[in-house]
Structure 1
């Protein structure tokens, strides 16, 4: 089963603005894909459709086998909670809450007990190299550490897809490298990841690049190519 499957997808907004024009895209399990393009290219619209935050004007969007058009808003919320983990450019962490509970709170809608949520949160933070920062609050963490907490929150429930929107956009080079290193490790362990970015270095680092311009996919490495082993970030950015 494909994680993402878009067929003939268009998205139009009032006033005749067409953000996407006949997009076909398949992302298979275990891929790391960079969806790259300049501002206004349609990549953010693509993010919203893959994340089921919006519906297409025409065409078909399937996420983990579910046809988005056939789901109610409530069912879409359940699909997101179970199958998609989100990481955004801004960390969206609660200031007065520890790293452990910031991650645990991301599992609130899964109907999981507090003790189980904290157990999963601890494991996720250890997975991103922050097992020694469980009790620290966001203001006690560096920017890179805060983004790694956000990544831990996104993967704590073991979603089928990690969807990252400009995950290094608010970070300096060193902190961004830390976050990309974490994403590399997650990918090597089998996590399916799609990164939306305008950064050409990140695009080159990812084993599969999907380039978007004027609402069209202009190049695509092809489904399955994103399962290749990623290079270390230091090797690409050197």
Structure 2
């Protein structure tokens, strides 16, 4: 499998009167087609690792490479472009715009690709079909169930065909039936070579992934998918 994203020796400390060390010497490689669950107790650094690996935050030290490109030397604008083209995100809160319908919300995933509006719409329709919402194209978020809104968010995350999709507690606001659908959709993305990374407290969600990375006190303490 191809390494798509690597973090090497990464640390993250939040400054303040009492600095908070959220990550300490974390090394992790994400490979094509992998389904990875990042687990651990609250405060262990799971979400911080997702944010740093996903370039939403810069590390205090260490290296983040996406497609072999070192991120640390890039400007904020260049990092944003790289993120838009190579990464997708799904969060516990759906982050959909209430005044836009499903197609318009999903099409936002291509906003920074320079794709013409007509092609953005066609790609959004295809992405919604992929997640089983071909009959909800004109519905706004308030007209959708929680599970449907999360499927819209997944469609938005994958519309640009990213190398890696990060999901942070994606089933946290859903009932068990809707949550199972979302987990199956996320796991299925790996069939096309996408690396899927899920941060979760839910044992059922973690069990659906192939690789399990356990964090504690800002460090990776076990990784059953690490190269040997």
TM-score (norm 2): 0.94
- In the alignment, which residue of structure 1 is the partner of 2:200? 197
Q: Which residue of 2 aligns with 1:101?
A: 104
Does the Cα contact within 8 Å between 1:28 and 1:224 map onto a contact in 2?
no
- How many Å separate the matches in 1 of 2:187 and 2:166? 14
Between the aligned partners of 1:160 and 1:140, the Cα distance in structure 2 is: 31
Shift of 1:224: 7.0
In 2, Cα distance between equivalents of 1:204 and 1:182: 14
Output the CA distance in 1 between the equivalents of 2:155 and 2:4.
Answer: 20
Which has the larger displacement, 22-31 or 144-153? 22-31
| Match of residue 44, structure 2, among 41, 45, 56 | 41
* 1:145-170 Cα shifts (integer Å, max 9, x gaps): 10000000000010111111110011
* Equivalent residue for 1:116, pick from 107, 112, 119: 119
Indicate yes or no: 2:170 matched with 1:167. Answer: yes
Is 1:72 matched up with 2:57? no
Aligned pairs (5 A) from 1:215-226 = 215-223=218-226
RMSD: 1.4
The two structures have a TM-score, normalised by structure 1, of 0.90
Structure 1 Cα separation of the partners of residues 138 and 184 of structure 2: 23
- 1:3 aligned residue: 4
Mapped partners of 1:144, 1:21: distance in 2: 35
Give, in whole Å, the separation in 2 of the partners of 1:130 and 1:6: 35
Q: In the alignment, is residue 131 of structure 1 matched against residue 134 of structure 2?
A: yes
Q: What does the per-residue CA deviation read over 1:54-96, in whole Å, with 9 as the maximum and x for residues that have no partner?
A: 1111211112212111111110000111001111101111112
The answer for the alignment partner of 1:84 in structure 2 is 87
User: Is the CA contact (8 Å cut-off) linking 1:84 and 1:162 kept in structure 2?
Assistant: yes
- SS of alignment partner, residue 211 of structure 1: strand
- Work out the number of aligned pairs and report it: 225
User: Unmatched 5+ residue regions in structure 1?
Assistant: 226-238
